Amino acid sequence: MTARPTADAFVAELTTLFNRLGDLRYGEDVSQLDHAVQTAHHAKLDGAPPALIAAALLHDVGHMMQKAGEDAADHGVDTRHEQISAGYLARAFGPEVTEPIRLHVAAKRYRVAVDPAYLEHLSKASLQSLALQGGPMNSAEIAAFLAEPAAQDALRLRGYDEAGKAPEAEVSSFESYQDLLRDLIARAAEA
């Protein structure tokens, strides 16, 4: 088993990743960095716990790790970014951060299945990826999703995700979350 990175080292790694690739777009009107900090901002406004704020900030890190940009969905490819994000972040964070991330695509599929009007709130890019990700859940998938311990947090994350796509929004910087990330990593290392 690989040793867990220190909090400082992993936060530095994340900061470098966002500085290097945060300008990537994935079919939305905002960059990866803008989307990340807006999503975290909405989690903070909602009074989410620190782990869910971190999940909101980092939920799409898999897009940057793949450097897939906006081409993947245009080419009919589901990049499974939620799995990549959760797996990468599990090196340093506990499941209270990684599980909502792993389930945030499933949360979209669930929401569409139980509330067809939710489709109207999805961006064009999110609608395109929904088709690649399996579309609305069937009844067995709904039951399996709701049985997941992090399902409710994933649904909250999904709401922040959809709200975090406003061009020109003014929110806190990625760096403003570094202490929160360090604290969560340190707690995970102690567990």
Task: Please check whether residue 1 lies inside any domain of the structure.
Answer: no
pLDDT digits (tens, 9 = 90+) for 11-68: 999 999 999 999 988 778 899 999 999 999 999 999 999 999 999 999 999 888 776 4
Helix axes 124-132, 95-114, angle to 10 degrees: 90
Q: What is the per-residue DSSP string for 86-110?
A: HHHHTTTS-HHHHHHHHHHHHHHHH
Mapped onto helix, strand or coil, the DSSP state of residue 76 is: coil
% pLDDT > 90, the chain: 71
pLDDT digits (tens, 9 = 90+) for 70-106: 444 443 334 677 888 999 999 999 999 999 999 999 9
Task: Please check whether residue 43 lies inside any domain of the structure.
Answer: yes
Dist. CA 74–CA 78, nearest whole Å = 10
* Helix (H) / strand (E) containing 39: helix 32-45
pTM of the model as a whole: 0.90
CA angle at residue 84 from 80 to 85, to 5 degrees?
110
**CATH number assigned to the domain comprising residue 139:** 1.10.3210.10
Are 39 and 49 contacting, i.e. CB atoms less than 8 angstroms apart?
Answer: no
> Please, what is the average pLDDT of the chain?
89
Domain count, the chain: 1
Dist. CA 7–CA 183, nearest whole Å = 8
176: Cα separation from own chain's centroid: 18
Residue 79 confidence (pLDDT) = 63
Residue 66 confidence (pLDDT) = 73
Task: Please check whether residue 40 lies inside any domain of the structure.
Answer: yes
Residue 133 confidence (pLDDT) = 85
- The domain containing residue 13 runs over which residues? 7-165+173-190
pLDDT digits (tens, 9 = 90+) for 162-174: 999 999 899 999 9
pLDDT digits (tens, 9 = 90+) for 132-143: 888 999 999 999
Where does residue 118 rank: exposed (0-12), middle (13-18), buried (19+ CB within 10 A)?
middle
Task: Please check whether residue 2 lies inside any domain of the structure.
Answer: no
